[in-house]
Amino acid sequence: MRRRSSPPDEIVRGFEIGPEKYIVVTDEELESVSPERNRSIEIVDFIDSDDVDPVYYDRLYYLVPSKSGEKAYGLLVEVMRRTNKAGIAKFVFGEREYLVLVRVTSGALCLVTLHYSDEILSDTGIATEKEGAVSEEKDRMVKTIRDMKAAFKPEKYTNERKRKIVGLLGKKAKKQAPVESPVIGEEAPKGPGDLVAVLQESMRKLKATK
């Protein structure tokens, strides 16, 4: 049986509030509660770099300095590295306000988008109740962990599936001509410009309020 799709003018936005129960909202109503679009990053707190549990991490982006801002960029990297601090900030991209972590990694600034606390699944019911383990079992487990202890070297671990796919593509490339990709007319959305500059401006504003 073929399923008939609705025409665009009959499609509405709705939020589920219960089984098969929705509240319909219009584009205008959503626009009225969307954050104001801007190109700034608002630092709200400075925290210790290791305070954020990785469970909150979403995506990481490197912040690249502009040609005229390399000196300020290097200074900011050095100060944040020495103090072991990271900035909790917010910025708007598209229709969403993102919570982000600005930190130093490998001598550069990076921006990590974070999940909000209400987006994190609770671990209730996952952790087992503490039970008295046999001493021999504990000792055996401790010994196993110690025997397997090693320094973390990322290059040691390879993506086997990716390696096999690359090998497969290499073989196919020798037998068939590549296909050209279609031209896409839509322009990619623009993000904040000089992120280092707006970050410094945000830091100055934060300092002025304290």
- Is there a contact between 86 and 79 (Cβ–Cβ < 8 Å)? no
Q: What is the pLDDT of residue 190?
A: 47
Question: Minimal CA–CA distance to 42: which of 106, 103, 100?
Answer: 100
- Tell me, rounded to whole angstroms, the distance of Cα 155 from its chain centroid: 22
How many whole angstroms separate alpha carbon 146 and alpha carbon 141? Answer: 9
pLDDT of the residue at 58:
92
pTM of the model: 0.59
> 105 vs 49, 85, 109, CA distance in Å?
10, 11, 6
Structural domain 35-117+194-210, CATH architecture: Beta Barrel (2.40)
- Farthest-apart Cα atoms in the chain, separation: 69
DSSP 66-85: -GGGHHHHHHHHHHHHHHTE
Q: How far apart (Å, rounded) are the C-alpha atoms in residues 203 and 102?
A: 12
- In DSSP terms, 103 is beta-bridged to 110
| Domain spans, the chain | 35-117+194-210
Residue 194 CA: distances (Å) to CA of 6, 46, 51, 132, 190: 43, 20, 27, 56, 12
Res 8: pLDDT? 63
**Res 176: pLDDT:** 77
H or E element, residue 201: helix 195-208
Averaged pLDDT in 10-residue chunks for the chain of 210 residues: 56 74 73 61 85 92 85 88 90 80 90 90 71 77 89 83 87 78 55 56 61
Instruction: Report the chain's terminal Cα–Cα distance, integer Å.
Output: 66
